[in-house]
Amino acid sequence: MTTETITAANAGTWQLGDLTVNRIGFGAMRLTGSAAFDLGTPSNRERSISVLRRAIDLGVNHIDTAAFYFSATRSANELINSALAPYPDDLVITTKVGPGRDPSGEWLHAGPAQLRGQVEENLRQLGRDHLDVVNLRIVGTDSIAERFGALADLCEAGLIRHLGLSNVVLAQLAEAQAIAPVVCVQNQYGIGSRVGEKGEAVLRACGEHGIAFVPFYAIAGAGREAGAAATADDAVLAVARAHDASPAQIRLAWTLQRGRHVLAIPGTGNPDHLVANVAAGAIRLTEDEVAALDAIRDES
């Protein structure tokens, strides 16, 4: 497919609260190294900055990041700040709190009292006086009321504009909605992902409530942090050939066709992959193609 004139606007738009975003966005995780949370192989700084600026040129106005996206010598938030500040008026930056990493890279998980510090860390790194959207990233299925309530207090204080969730089950989504509005949910979802209730059931619930559903690992599928497998399923390859597209583009196109409320945040440090990812928003799959790809999902 020809990609030169395709921008993120071709995918259509959705609302994150009162903020309008193109449905194809950009995930910053892979900007910091050759793989997620890679502390040994830092990325090329200038190339990462050029990818971010090119994303804006291509109409991307939704960037997903986190303070815990860093490698030995690179920070995703710092790269975003260096590349894009002063920020375009229509740019929406979504970040995540809950997990954290100390300077050695060891993981920790914040309780309610620690969340303000994580929010302030994102504010400092991004050079902003408020955060557009903050997602509470969850590990496990326990109650999230205290932590989500702490973030709702930070909304009241003006540090956060909108709240979202990540890696949640239906009960946690309902629990959060009873405390404050939820504008988006980021869960793993894609062809080949085996995620149970966190996938299709949460996607449907989000659609019913007008909440954006934002899959992560939409391209990688079961490969997760390691990325997509070198080989693709025959059905994906067949659809890709029919559209003169790559398997990664077909995976993104399938994801976007799961509903108008579904967004995509593919991440890359490769400028050519960036252009291809954005172009995937213009691919329209037929009903038969969607059914063939659905069958892979159902078998996984």
69 is catalytic: yes
- The total of other beta-carbon atoms located within 10 Å of residue 194's CB is 10
**Cα dihedral angle (12, 17, 20, 24), rounded to 10 degrees?**
-50
Distance (Å, whole) CA 99 – CA 4: 38
Q: Do residues 163 and 178 lie in contact, with contact meaning Cβ atoms separated by under 8 Å?
A: no
> Strands 131-137, 212-213: parallel, antiparallel or unpaired by DSSP?
unpaired
Distance (Å, whole) CA 196 – CA 147: 24
Q: Which of 69, 87, 189, 217 is catalytic?
A: 69
The DSSP call for residue 134 is E
Q: What's the Cα-to-Cα distance from 111 to each of 98, 137, 293, rounded to whole Å?
A: 7, 12, 40
Q: Do residues 65 and 92 lie in contact, with contact meaning Cβ atoms separated by under 8 Å?
A: no
Distance (Å, whole) CA 285 – CA 282: 10
Q: In the structure encoding, which two tokens stand for residue 59, read together?
A: 């109409």
Residues annotated as catalytic (active site), given as ranges: 69
